[in-house]
Amino acid sequence: MTNATLSTGGFARATDSVSGARRSVPADDKAMLKAAANLTRDLNTPDARIYWADLIGSALLGYLTLAGALIAHGWEAWASGLVAILALYRAGSFIHEVSHIKHSQLPGFRTAWNAVVGVPLLAPSFLYEGVHNQHHAKTYYGTVDDPEYLPLALMKPWTLPVFLIVAALAPIGMLIRFGILAPLSLLSPRLRDLVVGRLSGLQINPEFRRKRPEGDFARLWARLEIASSIWALTLIALAATGVIPVRAFLIVLGVMSGVMFLNQVRTLVAHLWENDGEPMSVTAQYLDSVNVPPPGTLPALWAPVGLRYHALHHLLPGVPYHNLGEAHRRLAAALDGDSAYHVTNHCGLFPLVARLARSTMRHR
């Protein structure tokens, strides 16, 4: 879903830590790219029934178990809260699909997602739309112009825990952004420039500055920002006046924090983060990304809605999440063992985290 901003000094500092000559960029694996295009032509249409059922079911489970966490006590409250985190994380992960799908193919889905998940969790889709698409631009990926890339593998070891702590604190930041800064920015053009440029994108690259929206997207942005600000102000007011008990408010914040934290863990292993800022070939971008395909089952929880096929998604960004598994099966069967396609397939979360941690230790 979301990626919290991490102010760690940016690409320049990371690039300075790279010793020796730059890594050679692998040439494109033309056989893989051709197979990816040819074998998946029939998989590009989203199935509205799957999208709607998955979103509604995940959100309903998430809010019901959140209510259970508010009502229950002891281990039952903790268990309900954990299920709420997983379910709302899955529902929230549809922000990724919202940023990719053609809205004419799923009419009303973006509006429904924002109403059910985006605004209530203070992560409306305008924070991701336009930002994530830049991450997929062939000439931007892995460079200073990529809002969703930091060369974490080339940075200091302390950046990894900071990366996760920032995400855990994101709900408080969102309350401040929408409940305080957004209304105040209407009175100050300078503050508005800060809010739009630095605080209106779910990015991890602290060097990225967002431009002001235009046209229809500007109107969508305004509607969603107003709705999110009203919701944030309502929550703050109800908590401050005691209408919402402190325990209930902290549980809601805790669940939101868990959703953000889990997504940041997933982001931590979505790529290998080994590029030093230079442009990359499509195959190099693929090799810097990660698939965690079956037979593993846990990725269905921590990388839901097709995110377990993140490398494949970079090859085929137009394939809807529910067809990525079939696309993977076709390509895995068609491409021989020497293909670059198989290099990005990993077995699980912990080996990827350990690999990244070992890499940062070399840059102490």
Per-residue pLDDT tens listing for the chain (364 residues):
545 543 333 343 344 433 333 455 567 889 999 999 999 999 999 999 999 999 999 999 999 999 999 999 999 999 999 999 999 999 999 999 999 999 999 999 999 999 999 999 999 999 999 899 889 988 899 998 999 999 999 999 999 999 999 999 999 999 999 999 999 999 999 999 999 999 999 999 999 999 999 999 999 999 999 999 999 999 999 999 999 999 999 999 999 999 999 999 999 999 999 998 888 999 999 999 999 999 989 999 999 999 999 999 999 999 999 999 999 999 999 999 889 999 999 999 999 999 999 999 987 7
What does the alpha-carbon distance between residue 274 and residue 23 come to, in Å, rounded to a whole number?
10
Predicted pLDDT of residue 26: 65
Residue located via tokens 């994530």: 132
357 and 157 Cβ atoms separated by less than 8 Å: yes
- Max Cα separation, the chain? 64
Residue found under tokens 């309350």: 175
Supply the DSSP symbol for 344.
G
CB atoms < 10 A from the CB of 45, how many? 12
Question: Using an 8 Å Cβ cutoff, are 175 and 34 in contact?
Answer: no
pTM of the model as a whole:
0.91
Confidence at residue 169, expressed as pLDDT on a 0 to 100 scale: 96
Phi-psi region of 188 (alpha: psi -120 to 50; beta: other; left: phi over 0): beta
Secondary structure (3-state) at 298: coil
Which two three-digit tokens encode residue 354?
Answer: 């350990």
Q: Which two tokens stand for residue 33?
A: 């790219």
SS3 297: coil
Who contacts 153 (Cβ-Cβ below 8 Å, separation ≥6)? 272, 273, 274, 356, 359, 360
